Structure formats: C-alpha cells, structure tokens
C-alpha cells in the first residue's frame, strides 16, 4: 500500500492538519507506529501516545485539540475507530480472491458449485449440500450431508459443519470451529451407567454471524440451536444443545452456555462467563468477565461476580473484602477490651 495523506483523507472524508503530501505505506498501533504508518486515537487513555508516536498520520476525532506539539499529521474524522476499521477492511478486500477447486478434495456429484466458489485442498463436501455464491471453503474443511450455506460465507481451515446444519449469508467461521456436533445428552441407567441420547436437531447460523476459532456449537436434541443475525462469538466458546443467542449479541473467549438457555439481543458478555442451563437472559445486558449466571436475568442489567450480582454492589463488596484483615484486627482488639484483656 502506498497512498498520500491527502488521498486517504478524501477516502474517509476527513480534514487534514499537517503535511497532506506525506506518504502512508502501512498501518500500526499508536504506541508502535513508525514513519510511513497511519494509526488512530479513539480511547482517551491512549492520548499521551500521540505526543510521542513516530507515525506519519493519526486519525483523531473532529473535536480533538492537542495540548502539546504533535509531529504527526492529523486526519480529523467523526469516529476514528470506525474509520480505521473501514480502511483495514478495504485493504483486506484488495487481496487476490480465491476461486476454483484445489485437488485433492471431494465434492459430491450432486453438489453444484456456484459462481465465485472456492474449495481448498483436502476439503470434503457431502451429499445434497447447497452452496451460495462466492462461498470460500478452505483446506481441510468438512461439510456434511444436507448442509445449506448462504452467499459470501467463509469457512476457514479445519472447520467442521455436521449434517443438516444451516449457515446464512455473509457468515465467517474461523479455523477449528465445529458446528453441529452432538449435544451432551446422556440418560442415567439403574446400573449406574449412561445411555447416549441421540441428538436429531440441527444448528442454524443466521446472516452476518462470526464464529471464533475452536468454538463449538452443539446441535439440538430436537429442533435447533439458533445463533441469530449479527452475533459475534470469540474463540473457544461452548454453546450447548438447544441454546438460542439473540441478534447482535457479542461474547468474548471461553464463555460456556449450558443446554436450553435463551440469551436475548444486544448483550455484551465478557470472557469466561458461565451460564447455567434452562435460564433466560434478557436484552441489552452487560455481563462482566468470569461471572457465573445461575438464574434468569432481565433487561439492561450490569452484573459481575459468581454468582453474578449488580456491578455497583460487586464493586462495594470488593472494597469491603480488601478491608477484611483490618476489620478482623479491629474486632479482635474490641473483644480483648470487652474481656478485660483476656483471650477467648
């Protein structure tokens, strides 16, 4: 990539303060940027870096006014974070598009490869699979029988999509993820052993869903495990059978969701959160990292801890917890005073 600040500012509809003819050749984080780099400042806690960065240009908000001299050229935009994301997406889109079928691979005879499709080496596509336009199936992907995949879907290396599952348009599934493995269903028997319960449902990923690397989404016992439109799941997440995750909910790594739990829309879930089974979580909640959710919660809550409680109450309890040692000493001193200096 090689583009002048002036040209880049025209693309993002930004205002230049500084050398408009300076040349940009790469992207970098503000604390690591060197000459030729463009970076961005969106979080105020990184403001001090703008006075020391070696970047050639920095995307900042329209209302940003430096308190000290800045050597970098500033490009003022409405939202630097969104702007840098759009620029990175643009650069990524310029990569050569993969098209065609690499060998060795297996594509069932009854499968029609649509316009713009790519099938990588050692991929397997089973019987009666329906593929949308521009689908990209990377090496070592397994697509089971009767699977339906929409337009502009990308399955990265090592993805497994089991029989009957459905994936909507513009979905991305990162390497190693498994869609549609059996749910954890076993019936206890009188002799203390367990009998496997057949899982005959499917998994449905609606449009614009992204699934992180090595995340597993189990098929339903009956019916469907449903990941609704716009959901983003990070790496190493476990979604059990018959779970439903509402539109535009995002989850960080290592979340675990037990069977038949229903999670609403626009929730933000931190890493390592655990959800008990058969509960309902409402909409627009914020759930802090490592929280345990044993019971249903409503809408627009902010919770932390295990078991999770109101975030403000959690913060207060943490203050008290830090003072336990001091409180113990005070209570011991009071007891001695009451007992006339005698120990219990």
Does residue 241 carry a catalytic annotation? Answer: yes
- Bond into 242 cis (ω within 30): no
Query: Could you tell me if 320 and 307 are in contact, meaning their C-beta atoms sit under 8 angstroms apart?
Result: no
The label of the residue with tokens 């994936």 reads: 167
Q: Which distant-in-sequence residues (6+ apart) come within 8 Å of 66 by Cβ? A: 50, 51, 74
**For residue 203, what are the β-bridge partners?**
225
Query: Could you tell me if 123 and 49 are in contact, meaning their C-beta atoms sit under 8 angstroms apart?
Result: no
- Rounded to whole angstroms, the Cα distance separating 159 from 125 reads 12
| Catalytic choice (48, 68, 241, 266) | 241
Give the residue among 202, 88, 208, 213 at the shortest CA–CA distance from 138.
213
Instruction: Give whole-number Cα distances, 304 to 196, 272, 312, in Å.
Output: 36, 12, 9
- Rounded to whole angstroms, the Cα distance separating 217 from 204 reads 10
Active site residue ranges: 241
């Amino acid at each position: 990539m090689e583009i002048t600040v002036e040209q880049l500012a025209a693309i993002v509809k930004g205002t230049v303060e500084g050398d408009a003819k300076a040349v940009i050749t790469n992207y970098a984080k503000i604390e690591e940027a060197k000459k030729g780099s463009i970076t961005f400042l969106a979080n105020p806690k990184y403001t001090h870096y703008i006075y020391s960065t070696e970047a050639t240009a920095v995307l900042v908000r329209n209302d940003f006014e430096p308190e000290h001299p800045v050597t970098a050229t500033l490009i003022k935009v409405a939202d630097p974070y969104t702007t840098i994301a759009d620029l990175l997406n643009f650069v990524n889109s310029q990569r050569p598009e993969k098209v065609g079928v690499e060998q060795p691979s297996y594509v069932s005879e009854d499968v029609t490869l649509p316009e713009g499709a790519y099938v990588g080496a050692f991929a397997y596509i089973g019987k009666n699979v329906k593929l949308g336009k521009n689908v990209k199936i990377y090496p070592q992907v397994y697509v089971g029988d009767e699977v339906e995949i929409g337009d502009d879907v990308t399955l990265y290396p090592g993805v497994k999509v089991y029989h009957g599952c459905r994936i909507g348009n513009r979905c991305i599934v990162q390497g190693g993820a498994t869609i549609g493995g059996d749910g954890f269903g076993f019936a206890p028997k009188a002799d203390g052993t367990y009998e496997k319960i057949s899982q005959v449902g499917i998994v449905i990923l609606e449009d614009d869903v992204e699934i992180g690397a090595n995340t597993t989404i189990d098929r339903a016992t009956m019916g469907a495990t449903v990941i609704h439109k716009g959901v983003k799941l990070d790496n190493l997440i476990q979604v059990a059978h018959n779970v439903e995750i509402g539109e535009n909910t995002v989850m960080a790594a290592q979340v675990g969701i037990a069977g038949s739990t229903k999670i609403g829309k626009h929730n933000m879930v931190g890493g390592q959160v655990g959800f008990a089974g058969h509960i309902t979580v409402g909409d627009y909640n914020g759930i802090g990292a490592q929280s345990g959710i044993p019971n249903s919660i409503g809408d627009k809550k902010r919770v932390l801890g295990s078991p999770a409680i109101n975030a403000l109450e959690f913060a207060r309890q943490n203050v008290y917890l830090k003072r336990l040692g001091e409180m113990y000493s005070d209570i011991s001193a009071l007891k001695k005073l009451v007992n006339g200096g005698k120990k219990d």
